[in-house]
Amino acid sequence: MEIIIGKTAGFCYGVKRAVDGAIEESKKNKKTYCLGELVHNKEVIEDLKNKGIEIIEDINEVNDKNLKVILRAHGVEKNIYEKAKINNIELVDYTCPNVLKIHKIAEEYANKGYYIILTGAEKHPEVIGIKSYCGKNFSLIEKEDDVYKAIEKFENSQIKKILIISQTTYSVAKFENITKIIKEKISENLVIKNTICLATETRQKETEKLSKQVELMIIIGGKNSSNTKKLYEIAKQNCHNSISVENGKEAEETLKNMDLSIIEKVGIMAGASTPKESIDEVIKVWHLFK
């Protein structure tokens, strides 16, 4: 049996920056808060907690103004910065630079009077943050079926200019299809900015290519990780035997219930918030089965 590990598997730049930075903060301070989960990976979060970083869901939970608050890689709503300033809370901002760029674009075009269409998952923290910069005139498209409602809402708004942006980890194929539909309906004063990050795009392309070459695809990453879910969806389209696991233990439980006799090649890909340790664990487990 041959095992092929994706070259882009594991931490992207933004996640590595956030995790390394949070660990450094934990060394400087006995206790540090993080507003929301720094990244969407259970193992990473548990490690940070063990290093003294406490996860909070509301900045109002900070009672000691001498403690620092880390902002997660997914970013936060605009009013968080305002609340922190009013309450003299020091923020350590590890929002991914790609997400911060989207915040600036959304705010700039909202101020110019554009109607904004954002593609992404409604309940994802990155999308919640981006929405706060879009002003009142915007629509969110999560599924491709939502595009027609968004177009109707734009047309009823009487606004003449429109901007399309995306969550950094959204499906490249879905974004391209959505923009194609919108361009067919709206041809004037339309600005499209593909804000899906390069790390997401390259992972999705590599997963698509790899999943066509193997009999089994193993996608490694957190169950609440948007980019990991997209990789699994792509893998499943091309390889019937595709599984999504968080770590070695889950991989072992899943693989022992599968018929592996027909597997000659296995591909492994991991989400952008998956640590190397988790990838190594799964590879070690696979060697026990082959």
Catalytic positions are 126
Q: At 235, list the tokens.
A: 């893998």
| CA gap 99, 160 in Å, rounded | 26
Residue 276's closest CA among 51, 95, 37, 47?
47
**Where does residue 230 fall: left (phi above 0), alpha (psi -120 to 50 degrees), or beta otherwise?**
alpha
Residues ≥6 apart with Cβ < 8 Å to 76: 35, 36, 95, 125, 129
> DSSP states of 111-129 as a string?
HTT-EEEEES-TT-HHHHH
Residue 179's closest CA among 168, 167, 197, 191?
191
**Cα distances (Å, whole numbers) of residue 269 to 5, 7, 67, 201, 248:** 6, 8, 38, 13, 14
